[in-house]
């Protein structure tokens, strides 16, 4: 049986510079490696990469990449007040609001922002999740 882990998430990108601006200026993440095809960001326990669409298609031996995908990535924050502030930073860095921040039925606050390649990011504060000192999220408090 495989260990319960996601090692790397790769997102296709039409324009790596626009994508880089969103992740660096919006989230404040720093690339650990980049070239003309791919950018890697070291996150808590996994790596996020943005890969030029044509290179990703060739790497996967797959035809055209579909957009938008039927998934959302999530970035949880430590306080409700951080949700709208981060969403504003992401929009200023080239993102687009999909859903303004509001309270879901389970409590807390969440909103959705698309990156320049239309990948959906949920920005959320969920009081049922805890985030440790290293930034790792744990289901339940």
99 is written with which tokens?
């859903």
pTM attached to this predicted model: 0.93
Residue 120's pLDDT is what?
97
Q: Distance of alpha carbon 34 from its chain centroid, rounded?
A: 17
- What is the pLDDT confidence band of residue 5, given thresholds at 50, 70 and 90? confident
- What is the pLDDT confidence band of residue 78, given thresholds at 50, 70 and 90? very high
| Tens-digit pLDDT profile for residues 98-117 | 999 999 998 999 999 999 99
Per the CB < 8 A criterion, the answer to whether 26 and 94 are in contact is yes
| Three-state SS at 4 | coil
Does the pLDDT value for residue 40 go beyond 80?
A: yes
Domain ranges of the chain: 8-139
Per the CB < 8 A criterion, the answer to whether 81 and 99 are in contact is no
Does the pLDDT value for residue 141 go beyond 70?
A: no
Distance CA 115, CA 26 (A): 10
Distance CA 34, CA 79 (A): 32
| Tens-digit pLDDT profile for residues 59-69 | 999 888 888 88
Distance CA 78, CA 74 (A): 13
Please state which of the four CATH numbers 3.40.710.10, 3.10.250.10, 3.30.830.10, 3.10.180.10 is assigned to the domain occupying 8-139: 3.10.180.10
């Amino acid at each position: 049986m495989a260990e319960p882990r996601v090692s790397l998430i790769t997102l296709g990108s039409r324009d790596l510079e626009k994508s880089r601006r969103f992740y660096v200026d919006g989230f404040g993440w720093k690339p650990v490696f980049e070239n003309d095809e791919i950018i890697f960001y070291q996150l808590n326990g996994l790596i996020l990469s943005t890969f030029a669409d044509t290179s990703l298609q060739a790497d996967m031996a797959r035809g055209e990449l579909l957009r938008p995908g039927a998934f959302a990535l999530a970035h949880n924050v430590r306080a409700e007040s951080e949700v709208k502030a981060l969403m504003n930073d992401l929009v200023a860095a080239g993102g687009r609001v999909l859903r303004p921040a509001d309270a879901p039925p389970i409590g807390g606050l969440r909103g959705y922002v698309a990156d320049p390649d239309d990948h959906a990011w949920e920005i959320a504060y969920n009081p049922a999740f805890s985030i440790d000192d290293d930034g790792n999220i744990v289901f339940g408090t």
